[in-house]
Amino acid sequence: MRTIDKNKPVLVTGGAGYLASWIIKILLDDGLDVNATVRDPADSEKIAHLEELARTSRGRLRFFEADLLAKDSFDASLRDCELVIHTASPFFITGIKDPERELIQPAQAGTRNVLEAATRTATVKRVVLTSSVAALYGDNADISSTQGGIFTENDWNETSSEAHQPYSYSKTIAEKEAWKIAEGQSQWDLVVINPGWILGPSLTQRTDSMSIKTMLEFGNGTYKSGVPQLWTSIVDVRDVARAHVKAGFTPEARGRHILVSGERTLLDLALILRDKFGDDYPFPRREAPKSIFWLIAPLYGRTRKYVSLNVGIPIRFDNRYSQKDLGISYRPVEQTVQEHFQQIVDNGLLG
Ligand code: NAP
């Protein structure tokens, strides 16, 4: 049993990211001290929201410079920490020119660098890793090889590669690397969080997170002429952040945890938005035929193979273990999507 001393700082890697910012907020509000790594602590725009959070909460926040690809760069940030929450990993699914360099190396070598630094730090007792449902499956078509037509924590993505779904591949090999390193030592244990597509209000004004970019695209007319019939699994960023903190401080927490509130199509999301915001924004109104997306996929940075194996294929996730092991409950998808868009409007991000 790993009981974490709440008087010791918690390390959060990739601290200025969309998800990590919520994790840091919860920790600081609970009065804990946080060590946050960022690639560039001098980039005041990226960290201003965190400094503001620290000003108004009981916990103390310290920034450390660290890059996933620099072998020893996490050591200083780990000093005195018993708990490490490793969220940093590149997240983008289109516009990838060199998957090995842009995604796979930072995800896999980055995980190794952080976890090996944790082993070098005698105080570390637990590592919580942000993986993804992308480490469970590659394409929606993989649902046909599951037992009972539903993804569970027993599933591993066996269909992604550097050439096909490289982001999913990067998350899969990074999580495998983490389990391998965890099993090779006994100083700390590993708890893994596997979220679906994370949405919900952002604490940062950054728009480079994939989750925020896509929500912006719903409001700026990118999908005005139609969306593909694509099922995704949605979860609220605040619930994912809470799950990380529970995973850190629940001594008996074990294994992988699917975090999904519900499955929806892109058109379902548009209808949820129209329900609240009416016709004020050019939300998509219809699904365009799969054959059209198959033809134009390369123009949108997607392959035809991707369209064949994903569009029109429903998916389902079993989220019972996360509720039982971590004691979390899920916000409804409708609330998540509407509050995310409201935050985008309130922050003037749609111009
Ligand atoms: P994000 O806002 O883009 O955050 C990614 C973080 O990774 C940023 O803080 C970034 O640091 C850091 N990072 C990227 N490359 C790095 C490098 N070479 N060295 C150091 N740090 C690096 O995205 P997010 O959605 O919060 O993602 C956080 C985690 O959740 C990732 O592991 C992602 O795979 C996982 N996840 C996300 C979703 C989703 O739908 N958003 C779903 C499942 C899992 P800088 O601040 O310095 O740029």
Enter the tokens of residue 207.
Answer: 């728009």
Whether 119 contacts 326, CB under 8 Å: no
- Give the integer Cα–Cα distance in Å for 102 and 117: 22
Domains located in the chain, CATH noted: 10-346 (3.40.50.720)
Q: How crowded is the C-beta side of 340, counted as CA atoms within 13 Å?
A: 30
CB-based burial label for 305 (10 Å; 0-12, 13-18, 19+): middle
Question: Distance between CA 268 and CA 271 in Å, rounded?
Answer: 5
Which residues, including other chains, have CB under 8 Å from residue 148's CB and lie 6 or more apart? none
What pLDDT is stored for residue 185 in this prediction? 97
Helices (H), the chain: 18-29, 44-55, 75-78, 99, 105-120, 166-183, 210-219, 237-249, 266-277, 290-296, 304-310, 320-326, 333-346
Tell me how far apart the alpha carbons of residues 30 and 246 are, in angstroms, rounded to a whole number: 12
Q: What is the CA radius of gyration of the chain?
A: 20
Contacts 24+ apart (CB under 8 A), 101-105: 103/166, 103/167, 103/169, 103/170, 104/162, 104/166, 104/169, 104/170, 104/173, 105/69
Residue identifier of the C-alpha nearest atom 42 of ligand 1: 197
Verify whether residue 171 is a known catalytic residue: yes
How long is the chain?
351
pLDDT at residue 94, rounded to an integer: 75
CA of 162 relative to ligand 1 center, distance in Å: 19
Closest-lying ligand 1 atom to the alpha carbon of residue 68: 19
Catalytic residue, from 71, 171, 176, 305: name it.
171
pTM above 0.95, yes or no: yes
Provide the sign of the torsion angle of the four alpha carbons 234, 238, 239, 243, taken in this order.
positive
How many angstroms does the Cα of residue 172 sit away from the middle of ligand 1? Answer: 15
- Look up tokens 């020119």; give the residue: 97
Distance 278 CA to ligand 1 centre (A): 32
Question: How far does residue 91's CA lie from ligand 1's centre (Å)?
Answer: 6
Give me the tens of pLDDT residue by residue for the chain, a chain 351 residues long.
679 999 999 999 999 999 999 999 999 999 999 999 999 999 999 999 999 999 999 999 999 999 999 999 999 999 999 999 999 998 877 778 889 999 999 999 999 999 999 999 999 999 999 999 999 999 999 999 999 999 999 999 999 999 999 999 999 999 999 999 999 999 999 999 999 999 999 999 888 788 888 899 999 999 888 999 999 999 999 999 999 999 999 999 999 999 999 999 999 999 999 999 999 999 999 999 999 989 998 888 889 999 999 999 999 999 999 999 999 999 999 999 999 999 999 999 887
Closest atom of ligand 1 relative to the 210 alpha carbon: 41
Tell me, in angstroms, the distance from the centre of ligand 1 to residue 312's CA.
28
Give the Cα separation of 235 and 336 in Å (integer): 8
Residue whose entry in the numeric block shows the structure tokens 């991707």: 306
Give the angle 92-283-214 at the CA atoms, nearest 5°.
Answer: 10
Residue 1's pLDDT is 63
- Atom 27, ligand 1: which residue's CA is nearest? 19
Q: What is the pLDDT of residues 290-308, one digit of tens each?
A: 999 899 988 888 899 999 9
Residues with CB under 6 A from ligand 1: 14, 16-20, 38-39, 46, 67-69, 87-91, 106, 130, 132, 171, 195, 197-198, 209-211
Q: How far apart are the CA of 280 and the centre of ligand 1, in A?
A: 31
Q: For position 299, what pLDDT does the model report?
A: 86
Residue identifier of the C-alpha nearest atom 18 of ligand 1: 68
Task: Evaluate whether 328 touches 247 at the Cβ level (below 8 Å).
Answer: no
Of all protein residues, the one whose alpha carbon is nearest to atom 10 of ligand 1 is 14
Nearest CA to ligand 1 atom 3: 209
Q: Which atom of ligand 1 is nearest to the CA of 106?
A: 18
Take atom 29 of ligand 1 and give the residue whose Cα is closest.
87
The pick from 13, 19, 21, 63 for probing ligand 1's pocket by mutation, whose C-beta has the most ligand atoms within 8 angstroms, reads: 19
- Closest-lying ligand 1 atom to the alpha carbon of residue 46: 46
- Find the angle CA(98)-CA(104)-CA(106) to the nearest 5 degrees: 105
Query: Could you give the CA distance from residue 49 to residue 346 in angstroms, rounded to a whole number?
Result: 16
Return the amino acid letter for 76: A
The alpha carbon of 37 and the centre of ligand 1 are apart by a number of angstroms equal to 12
The DSSP code sequence of 74-94 is: THHHHTT-SEEEE-------S
